[in-house]
Amino acid sequence: MILVTLADLLLLSGASLSSSQAGFRSPESLVRNVYAYYGDRSSELTSGLPRDADTARQFFDSSLREAWLSSTKSPYDFLVQSPTWKLGAISISILRRQFDKTYVTASFDNRGRALIMNFVLVNGPDGWVIYDVESPHDSLRAFLAHYRD
């Protein structure tokens, strides 16, 4: 289990945030880099995971990229389960490896509300990318399909 603060995430992810290559070297680094974007909104790098082509290519499986880019009118940010955020320490652990997918759990609190998000990751030719993300009530794929522009 890995326990990191938001400041640690920003330091650890510095090189990856400016890169437009697809994928990450490990499942944990992918999830760390997702939440590195959820800071105090003082800059573009701390205002949530961007919905641009470079970010979609870097973070998402090809089957999810278009949905990420075309869903801009959702009522909240699925990855933090809220339209606003102030995240506490984030715990990241591999839940299981099954065939071609690895399931990673991210546990954190957002403004005092405990959250658990399960990332379904695949290791593509360029590294680890997100195939789906599951909350207790929904999946990112279903959420993006529902709020597609």
What angle (nearest 5°) sits at the alpha carbon of residue 11, between those of residues 111 and 139?
Answer: 50
> What is the C-alpha separation between 44 and 140, in angstroms, rounded?
22
Q: What is the pLDDT of residues 46-71, one digit of tens each?
A: 889 999 999 999 999 999 999 999 98
- Residue by residue, DSSP assigns 43-87 as SGGGBSS--SHHHHHHHB-HHHHHHHHH----SSBTTTTBSS--B
Q: Which domain holds residue 98?
A: 2-146
Any idea what the CATH number is for the domain that residue 118 is in?
3.10.450.50
The pTM assigned to this predicted structure is 0.83
Number of independent structural domains in the chain: 1
Residue-level pLDDT at 8: 52
DSSP state of 38: B
> What is the C-alpha separation between 8 and 149, in angstroms, rounded?
35
Say yes or no to pLDDT of 2 above 80: no
